[in-house]
Amino acid sequence: DADVTQTPRNRITKTGKRIMLECSQTKGHDRMYWYRQDPGLGLRLIYYSFDVKDINKGEISDGYSVSRQAQAKFSLSLESAIPNQTALYFCATSDLTVGYTFGSGTRLTVV
Amino acid sequence: DQQVKQNSPSLSVQEGRISILNCDYTNSMFDYFLWYKKYPAEGPTFLISISSIKDKNEDGRFTVFLNKSAKHLSLHIVPSQPGDSAVYFCAASSARQLTFGSGTQLTVLP
């Protein structure tokens, strides 16, 4: 089993729909992150959480919300999806060291 | 304003030769620098890192160089292999949060 699992792997949704991307990790780490990748822009931080009761906005949080249901689970929601949220989304986890472990990504298309 | 920049979107190198990927940063508070490698349909995977107090770190075929005065780091891959073809992201850490560059697509030609 992967250390960080993201579901779904691919999703096509319509403008205005609510969608949730889920992430779970088996590393036992406290810190979890959501990033999106766009061509030419690299990975940009959406939200991060340092423990279950700690949620923080990242660089591009507008239009997104998150929920940290447990140490191992961190979900990302788009309340009303719009086409410019079409991107590749990555969840990651880390401990107190620097390196992150990433999931395989969710490819989201908003039509 | 991007704090971590990779100005070359792509690089092609012959197998066996050296690959040099570059990265520039603007924030003097970054304390660690990392390189991640990403294959299609997979998440980024950690490759190598360097502390801001060092100027070189080597791991097998991979060496990262840090020039703090120039706010510049580079990743050298010697010798390059076709399996090294991937997107390489430079990242910088401050308060245990990573800021990523836009990536460089490396293609190693057989």
Whether A88 and chain B come into contact, CB under 8 Å, resolves to no
Q: Compute the average pLDDT of residues B21-50.
A: 94
Report the C-alpha gap between A4 and B49 in whole angstroms.
21
The confidence score (pLDDT) of residue B1 equals: 67
Q: Is the pLDDT of residue B36 over 80?
A: yes
Whether B43 and chain A come into contact, CB under 8 Å, resolves to yes
The confidence score (pLDDT) of residue B41 equals: 85
Whether B93 and chain A come into contact, CB under 8 Å, resolves to yes
Report the C-alpha gap between A34 and A90 in whole angstroms.
6
Q: Is the pLDDT of residue A1 over 70?
A: no
- Per DSSP, B53 falls in state T
Report the C-alpha gap between A93 and A27 in whole angstroms.
8
Q: In chain B, what percentage of residues exceed pLDDT 90?
A: 89
The confidence score (pLDDT) of residue A2 equals: 78
pLDDT, one tens digit per residue, over A2-44 is 799 999 999 999 999 999 999 999 999 999 999 999 987 889 9
Q: In chain A, what percentage of residues exceed pLDDT 70?
A: 96
Q: Compute the average pLDDT of residues A69-95.
A: 95
pLDDT, one tens digit per residue, over B67-91 is 999 999 999 999 999 999 999 999 9
A100 to B46: CB separation less than 8 angstroms, yes or no? yes
The mean pLDDT of chain B is 94
Return the bridge partners of A37, or none: A43, A88
A99 closest CB neighbour out of B34, B100, B102: B34
Burial B66-104 (b: 16+ CB within 10 A, else e): beeeebebbbbbeebeeebbbbbbbbbbeebbbbbbbbb
Degrees to nearest 5, angle at CA A19 with B96 and A37:
40
First to last CA, chain A: 32
The confidence score (pLDDT) of residue B97 equals: 80
The per-residue DSSP string of chain A comes to: --SEEEE-SEEEE-TT--EEEEEEESS--SEEEEEEEETTTEEEEEEEEEETTEEEE-TT-TTEEEEEEETTEEEEEESS--GGG-EEEEEEEE-SSS--EE---EEEEE-
A98 closest CB neighbour out of B42, B45, B96: B96
